[in-house]
Structure 1
Amino acid sequence: MNKCEKVLTSQPGDLKEGQPVDLTIADSTNLGYKAVIDNRAWGILYHTEIFQKLYEGQKIKGFVKKVRDDGKIDLCLQKPGYEKVADISEQIIQKIAAQGGYIEITDKSSAEHIYKMFGISKKNFKKAIGALYKAHRIVLEKEGIALSK
């Protein structure tokens, strides 16, 4: 047991799902990265939740994704739930506007292409595109997405 493990707890205390937290990346595991939450507790960022390079000692903003029944804490780097979709939607609108109102990407594009362009998962991209389409803010075309006029 190292010095950090003696001082930090794996219990959530007063942490709540969706709560913003300060994270310090500790070390890589098979599942993801162990992170210190607000200098007081351990949590884990799963590889499936990470869409950027992380390194040991890095300080980053994150969110409590879930406090599990066993008391362990799952983390994410994007706001959970609808707030995340709203943030991603605005990011997509800004990117389309910056490209002159049209961008060559669709919900059929590869996960790698979506990640390269937006730094998000295909699943979250599709949620955001769906919300923008329902709100009539975009037009879905065969080869891309355009801003609504």
Structure 2
Amino acid sequence: MDYTQLPHLLDANYLKFDTEAKLRPTTIKLGPLWTKQEQPGFLGALEKRQLDAGAQRTETQQAFDLLDALSRSGAMTLDQTSLHVVLAATHCFDETVIDTAVKQNDNPIEKLERRSMLIVASTIHRKAPSLLLRPPEVERIRYALGSLSPALFEPSAQKKLF
């Protein structure tokens, strides 16, 4: 899977399956000053230091140089490793959560949990929602979503997700 395309794929699926357009992609912006914790030696004490933009570039380059050396410039695979990808999305409300629940008698958390999480999970796992849910739960979730996202449960949803 090309993880660089995941934000674009998620955004496309938000537009395709979120009929109310409540789920939007979010850009994560880091602050200009980072704090690095490091332990200089095996028995040394933990030290903290601030990294400005120049130091951040240097540390990033050193990390990639180490990765390059450990993998022999990509010639050797790195088994038993993990890759962490951080993506963010924002669920938008027209009114406050309390106003939505009290005035409109609508449960926004239910929609967020069911529809939004199903769209994200289906996209990341590359499976239709009906394959991610336990069989007894599929009909219950489909009924709870009502007309919000009928396309999520269509037989062709698997093809539409990717």
Which structure carries more helix by proportion?
2
TM-score range, shorter chain: under 0.3
Higher relative contact order (CA 8 A, sep 6+): 2
Larger Rg: 2
